[in-house]
Amino acid sequence: MKPLVSILVTTYNVENFVERAVQSALAQTYPSLEIVIVDDCSDDGTWEKLQRFSKKVTLIRHIERKRVSAALNTALGRAHGDYIARLDGDDQLYPTLIEEEVAILQARPEYGFVYCDYEEVNAAGKVIRKVSLPEFSPKLVHEVDYIAMGNLVRRECYEMVGSYDEEMKKQEHYDWSIRLVENYKGIHLPKILFTYTRHSAQATANKDDLRSYTERVRKKYNLKRDEVVRW
């Protein structure tokens, strides 16, 4: 029997993108899947659009906005998978991502997670650039986003490392990755299997806010300023 994979989808005010995001999870070629969607109290049409998938996924809605770390922790609490994948509600998975990444982790038990290359698109879906990531090194955790996009993580990593820090309203993936690479090695799949959407309403659009949370991470782990390169 194939191991179960949980795809955790977090949404907040992504009504223009959410249907294609969920469809990309449902279109996976890997058969043993559960999809857990947590909407963080959207006030646009996101929640209404999610209703069309209610018979195929687990749908949860926060009654007040708690931000992405809390949404991820809510999803983790409902996930049963042997492997965990993350998908933001404005991004997309290529159809074979889960199948290919499960095969790697099944064959390579010494690795805790696998990550792939990705493409960036604009709000209209036009490709802006294609991104090839480097081979894994724990020293690159301050430069390479191993966890937010196109990755698959063993459940035991979450059990060892713990959940997301809910004080981190942004850069939660960076904070969690620092803890992850202290305990587990990752492996790079050099293939584009993920689509990252850039648009003006996304959480990372406010660079000042992003820098503020990056500084929180730096202080939390007592990092030197020159160690935090691309955040």
Give residue-wise pLDDT tens across range 169-184. Answer: 777 888 888 899 999 9
Tell me which residue of 38, 34, 40, 94 sits closest to 66, measured CA to CA: 40
Domain count, the chain: 1
- 139: CATH: 3.90.550.10
Tell me which residue of 115, 170, 187 sits closest to 146, measured CA to CA: 115
Cβ-based neighbour number of residue 8 at 10 Å: 24
Mean pLDDT of 72-95: 96
Which residue range(s) make up the domain with 157? 5-227
Give residue-wise pLDDT tens across range 5-46. Answer: 999 999 999 999 999 999 999 999 999 999 999 999 999 999
- Supply the pTM of this predicted model: 0.91
Residue 151 CA: distances (Å) to CA of 45, 118, 197, 217, 218: 28, 10, 16, 21, 24
Give residue 58's identity as a one-letter amino acid code. T
Place of tokens 């933001």: 88
CB 114 within 8 A of CB 77: no
Residue 128 CA to residue 188 CA, distance in Å, equals 22
Q: Is the dihedral of CA 60, 65, 66, 68 positive or negative?
A: positive
Give residue-wise pLDDT tens across range 138-168. Answer: 988 888 887 778 999 999 999 999 999 887 7
